[in-house]
Structures are given as C-alpha cells and as structure tokens.
Amino acid sequence: MNGPIFQPKICLACSPRLHVTVSNIMVSNSNLDHDPSELGELEREVLSIVWRLGIATAEQAREELKKPLKDSTVRTVLRRLEEKGYLAHSLENRTFVYRPSESRQKVAGRAVQRIVDWFCEGSVEALLVGMVDSKVLDRTELQRLADRIATAQKSRVANPEGKQEAKK
C-alpha cells in the first residue's frame, strides 16, 4: 500500500451528552497589504465604529451608523473588512463579535506610506514640508512631532533592545 494511512475518526456528534467547542475564534487569511485608500465610505465608517467601540456585533455597528441599513448589508461590510485584514471575529453564542485586527495608527501609517511612495518619491521629509507649506501642519505641531521623535530616538539609544525599563 503506497497511499496515505487514514486514522479512524470518532463521531462526537453521535454522543448525546458530549458537547465540544472546537474553536470560537475566526483566523482568516487576512490581507495586511490591502491599501487603506481603497476602502469605500461605508467600509471606513464601519471600521471607525469598531475601532471606537473596541468590539462590535453587526447589530451594534448598524445602530451606530448615521444611515438606516439592512442588517445583511452591515454583515457583508464586516465580512469584507475581515477578508481585507482589518477585522477578526469570535463567536459568542451564535453571534459574530468583531474586533480590529490592526490599530487605527497602523492602518493610518500604511496609508501615509502609500502617499509618501506615490507622491513624495519615498521622502517623509517631502511629505512633512508639503504639509507645512499647505498649512495642514503648523510649525507648533511640527515642533511637537520633532520633540516626540527626539524622545523616541533617545529611548532607543538608551535601550537598544526595546526592553521597558522599570519605573521608579
């Protein structure tokens, strides 16, 4: 016999007293490279709701939306956001509960990286200068950003392995 050897399976469904939960957390083949700029208006709105609430069911998301939509429409949007890698779900009783797969900051960072690549030839400096020149970012905000960068760099130099120091 050259083929694979099959092990007999135990029929758990045949037992009248045995209840087994195999898994209640959805693990998907999420697409973390999805371009956030390709999200539609409704997808962005629903994603924003889940970020704000932390976790949400389709019903909770539908109630938070500013426009009346069918529950099936909201479930479809949630499923698509999960397929694109923005959300994951777990099952509580028979209800899908969605949570963000990535933070708002990580998604925003990916979106900004696309802008930097497309319009600024990869230069973050060119992006920031453009934001200052267009009055999107004023000099005070730019200085606060520079201070935060300097603080982060000092932390990395003092602790290159990224370990947190105990606070005294």
pLDDT digits (tens, 9 = 90+) for 55-99: 999 999 999 998 899 999 999 999 999 999 999 999 999 999 999
pLDDT category at 3 given cuts 50, 70, 90 is very low
Which pLDDT tens digit goes with each residue over 109-157?
A: 988 999 999 999 999 889 988 888 898 888 888 899 889 989 989 888 8
Whole-angstrom distance, CA of residue 77 vs CA of residue 151: 40
What 3-state DSSP class applies to 79? helix
Whole-angstrom distance, CA of residue 49 vs CA of residue 78: 11
Beta strands in the chain (DSSP E): 87-92, 95-100
| Sequence-ordered list of residues with C-beta below 8 angstroms from that of 50, at least 6 positions apart, any chain | 56, 61, 81, 87, 98, 99, 100
31 touches 84 (CB < 8 A): yes
